[in-house]
Amino acid sequence: MKILALILPAALTAFAAFAQTAPTAPQIAERLTANDLKADVSFLASDALQGRATPSPGLDIAAEFLAAQFRRSGLEPAGDDGYLQTAAFASVKPNREKLELTIEIGEKQLKVDPGLMTVWRPAAADLRDAAVARASTPAEAAAWKPEDTRGKVLLMEVSRFSRNPAEWDPAMVIMVESAAPRGIAGPALQDASVPAERFPLLMVWDPAVRAALAADKTAAIRVSAHVAAPMVEPVKLRNVVGVLRGSDPALKDTCLVLSAHYDHLGVRAGGEGDRIFNGANDDASGAAAVVEIARALASQPVKPRRSIVFALFFGEEGGGLGSRYYTQHPVFPLARTIADVNLEQLGRIDDTQGSRPGQFNLTGFDFTNLAPAIREAAQQAGVQVVKDEKNNERYFGASDNLMFSMAGVPSTTASVTYQFPDYHGVGDEWPKLDYDNMAKVDCALALAVFRLADSADAPQWNAENPRTAAYMKARQAK
């Protein structure tokens, strides 16, 4: 009996180790259910959260809810405040008080009506007879050298150009438009840790200015202007970040990021009827998927060899503010981050080009070797990964994965639809999502994420694709 007592525990330990293998799709599906996804989305996209604008009380409530779900799953907190990564921002609002702009075009002196211009990028400026660099075509703007423009007013008759005006270091930028821009320039959110804007950007749609510029392409131009300093208020924003720690001593300090954004567009300023942009599919569905994939993988007896960072970002609708902040303040060094798999619009199958059950897209399909690995895992979960020839490259830069790519990290965004009825509309509400299909897709993504994190081989950029050159260069610099 004593011998048996010694042998039995050892045998059980060996059997347990043998039995604890990588999770299968059915094992994940047991922990990742349509009802749980519906519960998450219906709360995040409820009227109570008022569209989760960045910033807003509804966004703050969403962050606390998501942090609570990570806590429930037992993830390791990775923020400065538990699961919350705090980002100090400033809300910068244009100040139109005593706004003045006078443009001298040859012999004509034109004082622009304040109602025919707006401060699109707020910063203070006081100019008297400032020299002007003029660009009437994109090619002329592209040909500028910094020394040609430094300290000058850049007067641009083109809406699209390939350079960031900050590279030219101007005193002011004036964009001459044919009509007023859509919407009114409101408060801009700026990372408080980076320098404030050095120069204002004005948009002008005064017909007299356009006519004078068209009449004389070579006239000398001078500008006088007064733009008051913007109104600045501090804002605290928060990413939600948790970690499932890897099991391999040599690989656990490397990670894969699974991400989504949890913000949306808030409340429409005026009009009758429903004014809340609930953002159920875009992107409460992605946020819920991250939460439930985290819970499903954390509950498995076997952990992947690498760590998985589950990240939910603020401010995607404002230009990737939260993901940009994360890549500037990463939980794991970006050199040790093997990939970002980002999630968008996973709940609706009614794509404007046709129904999309049992499948999902990947952006930048041929930019990395992520797609074959994800496709193989998805097939084992009974879900198809498709390459949308028209949209996969077009939408690569349309979500938070772009910030990781710009930092050199191989990335992609998974989505069931690219365009769907109610996109960025008040009709994007939680009852319209197909939660059974969403659970199948999320199960496939969970299996793919586990296998990517469990692999000894890290994803790589496709060197043969010319679109990846800048991303590869950023990777090599890490």
Q: What is the DSSP string of 152-213?
A: SEEEES-S--SS-GGGT--SEEEEE-SSPPSS---PEEEETTSPPPSS-EEEE--HHHHHHH
Query: Per the confidence metrics, is the pTM higher than 0.85?
Result: no
- 182 pLDDT higher than 80: no
C-alpha 148 chain-centroid distance = 34
Per-residue pLDDT, averaged over 4-28, amounts to 58
How sure is the predictor about 20, in pLDDT bands with cuts at 50, 70 and 90? Answer: low
Answer yes or no: are the C-beta atoms of 85 and 239 closer than 8 Å. yes
What's the confidence (pLDDT) of residue 7? 41
Q: What are phi and psi of 333, to 5 degrees?
A: -55, 140
450's tokens: 């586990």
pLDDT at 197: 84
How many CB atoms lie under 10 A from the CB of residue 18? Answer: 8
Q: β-pairing, 84-93 with 188-191?
A: antiparallel
- Pick from 175-189, 264-278, 322-336 the range whose average pLDDT is largest: 322-336
**Angle subtended at Cα 445 by Cα 304 and Cα 237, rounded to the nearest 5 degrees:** 85
- As a residue count, the chain comes to 478
Please give the residue that has the higher pLDDT: either 9 or 148.
148
Classify residue 286 as exposed, middle or buried by CB count within 10 Å of its CB (0-12, 13-18, 19+).
buried
3-state DSSP call for residue 276? strand
Confidence of residue 11 (pLDDT cuts 50, 70, 90): very low
Rounded mean pLDDT of 261-267?
96
Q: Which amino acid is at 197?
A: E
For residue 160, the model assigns a pLDDT of 65
The band of 183, judged by pLDDT with boundaries at 50, 70 and 90, is low
- List, in order of start, the domains of the chain with CATH numbers: 23-86+236-476 (3.40.630.10), 94-232 (3.50.30.30)
In the predicted structure, residue 15 carries a pLDDT above the cut 70: no
Question: What are 204-260's pLDDT values in tens digits?
Answer: 999 999 999 999 989 999 999 999 999 999 999 999 999 999 999 999 999 999 999
Question: Residue 413: pLDDT above 90?
Answer: yes
Mean predicted lDDT score pLDDT of the chain: 92
Report CA Rg, the chain: 26
Listed residue (360, 355, 366) closest to 379, CA to CA: 360
60 CB burial (10 A radius; 0-12, 13-18, 19+)? middle
What is the DSSP pairing of strand 125-135 with strand 221-227? Answer: antiparallel
* Distance of alpha carbon 310 from alpha carbon 76, whole angstroms: 10
Q: How confident is the model at residue 172 (pLDDT cuts 50, 70, 90)?
A: very high
Going by pLDDT thresholds of 50, 70 and 90, the confidence category of residue 270 is confident
Condensed to tens digits (0 to 9), the pLDDT of residues 386-402 reads 999 989 999 999 999 99
Lowest mean pLDDT among 29-38, 69-78, 159-168: 159-168
Q: How far is CA 357 from the centre of its chain?
A: 25
Reply yes or no on whether the pLDDT at 4 is more than 80.
no
**Banded pLDDT at 293 (limits 50, 70, 90):** very high
Sign of CA dihedral 120, 125, 128, 129: negative
Q: What confidence score (pLDDT) does residue 9 get?
A: 47
Dig out the tokens for 89 from the structure: 């921002």
Identify which has the larger pLDDT, 34 or 182.
Answer: 34
Q: Is 164 exposed, middle or buried (0-12, 13-18, 19+ CB in 10 A)?
A: exposed
Neighbours of 358 (CB within 10 A): 15
Distance CA(10)–CA(295), nearest Å, equals 31
* pLDDT per residue as tens digits for the range 349-359: 999 989 999 99
pLDDT at 161: 64
| pLDDT value for 235 | 95
- Residue 111 pLDDT > 80, yes or no? yes
Six-digit token string for 58: 């509804």
